[in-house]
Amino acid sequence: MTGSKQSPPKFSAERHGSRIAAIALAAAIASWTDRARTEEQLPPYTVVGDAIPQSLTGAKGNVERGRSIVVNRQVGLCLLCHSGPFPEEKFQGTLAPDLKGTGARWSEGQLRLRLVDASQLNPNTIMPPYYRIDGLTRVAPAFQAKPVLSAEQIEDVVAYLATLREE
Amino acid sequence: MTRPAAVLFVIAVLGAAAAAADIPLAERKSGYEFMARETRAMQDDDSANPATLWVLDAETLWQRKEGSAGKSCADCHGDARTNMRGVAARYPAFNEARGRPIDLEQRVNICRTEQQRATPLAFESKELLALTAYVGQQSRGMPIDIANDAHIRPFLEAGRVMFTERQGQLNLSCAQCHDDNWGQKLAGAAIPQGHPTGYPLYRLEWQTLGSLQRRLRNCLFGMRAVSYPYGASELVDLELYLMWRARGMPVETPAVRP
The ipTM of this complex is: 0.89
Q: Estimate the crossing angle of helix A108-117 against helix A151-162, to 10 degrees.
A: 130
What is the tens place of the pLDDT at every residue in B114-162?
Answer: 999 999 999 999 999 999 999 999 999 999 999 899 999 999 999 999 9
Closest CA relative to residue B232, chosen from B160, B155, B144? B155
Please check whether residues A20 and A62 belong to one and the same domain: no
Q: Average of pLDDT values for B86-90?
A: 98
Over 90: is that where the pLDDT of A17 sits? no
Does A75 reach chain B within 8 Å, measured CB to CB?
no
Domain membership of residue A143 (yes or no) is yes
Bridge-based pairing state of the strands B201-203 and B208-210: antiparallel
Query: Which of B12, B176, B187 is nearest residue A80 as measured by Cβ atoms?
Result: B187
At residue A34, the pLDDT reads: 41
Domain membership of residue A23 (yes or no) is yes
Domain membership of residue A39 (yes or no) is yes
What is the tens place of the pLDDT at every residue in A126-147?
Answer: 999 999 999 999 999 999 999 9
Query: Which of A10, A17, A128 is nearest residue B17 as measured by Cβ atoms?
Result: A10
Which residue from A minimizes the CA distance to B20?
A12
Please check whether residues A51 and A95 belong to one and the same domain: yes
**Chain B hits for A123, Cβ within 8 Å:** 12-13, 16
Please check whether residues A24 and A51 belong to one and the same domain: no
Please check whether residues A37 and A72 belong to one and the same domain: no
Q: Is B111 a catalytic residue?
A: no
pLDDT band at B6 (very low <50, low <70, confident <90, very high): very low
Please check whether residues A138 and A153 belong to one and the same domain: yes
CB contact (8 A) between residue B176 and residue A11: yes
**Chain B hits for A73, Cβ within 8 Å:** 187
Domain membership of residue A34 (yes or no) is yes
Least confident of A37-51, A65-79, B49-63, B177-191: A37-51
Mutation to test the B interface, candidates A12, A42, A119, A120, most B Cβ within 10 Å: A12
User: Among B76, B111, B174, B219, which one carries the catalytic annotation?
Assistant: B219
Please check whether residues A94 and A53 belong to one and the same domain: yes
Please check whether residues A30 and A60 belong to one and the same domain: no
Domain membership of residue A50 (yes or no) is yes
Domain membership of residue A3 (yes or no) is no
- CATH of residue A109's domain is 1.10.760.10
CB contact (8 A) between residue A25 and residue B166: no
Over 90: is that where the pLDDT of A18 sits? no
A125-131: long-range contacts, CB 8 A cutoff, minimum separation 24: A125/A13, A126/A13, A126/A15, A126/A81, A126/A95, A126/A96, A126/B172, A126/B176, A126/B180, A126/B181, A127/A81, A127/A96, A128/A77, A128/B169, A128/B170, A128/B171, A128/B172, A129/B171, A130/A154, A131/A42, A131/A56
Please check whether residues A148 and A110 belong to one and the same domain: yes
- Domains in chain A, number: 2
* Secondary structure (H, E, C), A122-156: CCCCCCCCCCCCCCCCCECHHHCCCCCCCHHHHHH
Q: Average of pLDDT values for B47-60?
A: 98
Ranges of CATH 1.10.760.10 domains, chain B: 30-45+145-257, 52-137
Over 70: is that where the pLDDT of A26 sits? no
Over 60: is that where the pLDDT of A73 sits? yes
Beta strands in chain B (DSSP E): 93-95, 100-102, 185-186, 189-190, 201-203, 208-210, 256-257
CB contact (8 A) between residue B169 and residue A7: no
CATH class of B30-45+145-257: mainly alpha
Output the CA torsion A124→A128→A134→A138 (10° steps).
Answer: 90
Please check whether residues A22 and A89 belong to one and the same domain: no
Mutation to test the B interface, candidates A31, A83, A94, most B Cβ within 10 Å: A94
CATH of domain B52-137: 1.10.760.10
Percent of chain B with pLDDT over 90: 91
Does A46 reach chain B within 8 Å, measured CB to CB?
no
Query: Which of B2, B4, B224 is nearest residue A143 as measured by Cβ atoms?
Result: B224
Determine contact, residues A29/A121, Cβ cutoff 8 Å: no
Distance CA B106, CA B243 (A): 16
Please check whether residues A25 and A50 belong to one and the same domain: no
At residue A167, the pLDDT reads: 84
A94 CA: distance to closest CA in chain B (Å): 5
The DSSP 8-state label assigned to residue B149 in this structure reads S
Over 50: is that where the pLDDT of A6 sits? no
A73 CA: distance to closest CA in chain B (Å): 9
At residue A38, the pLDDT reads: 40
B108: which strand partners? none
At residue B21, the pLDDT reads: 82
Interface size A-B, in CB pairs within 8 Å, comes to: 137
Asked if the bond preceding B229 is cis, omega within 30° of 0, the reply is: no
What is the tens place of the pLDDT at every residue in A94-130?
Answer: 999 999 999 999 999 999 999 999 999 999 999 999 9
Cα distances (angstroms) measured from residue B161 to each of A53, A72, A164: 38, 32, 40
Over 50: is that where the pLDDT of B10 sits? no
Task: Please give the residue range of the domain that contains residue A20.
Answer: 14-43
Please check whether residues A27 and A66 belong to one and the same domain: no
Distance CA B121, CA B124 (A): 9
Q: Write the Ramachandran bin of B117: left for phi over 0, alpha for psi from -120 to 50, otherwise beta.
A: left
Determine contact, residues A21/A29, Cβ cutoff 8 Å: no
pLDDT band at A41 (very low <50, low <70, confident <90, very high): confident
Query: CB atoms < 10 A from the CB of B168, how many?
Result: 23
Please check whether residues A79 and A127 belong to one and the same domain: yes
Alpha helix stretches (DSSP H) within B116-211: 126-137, 153-164, 174-178
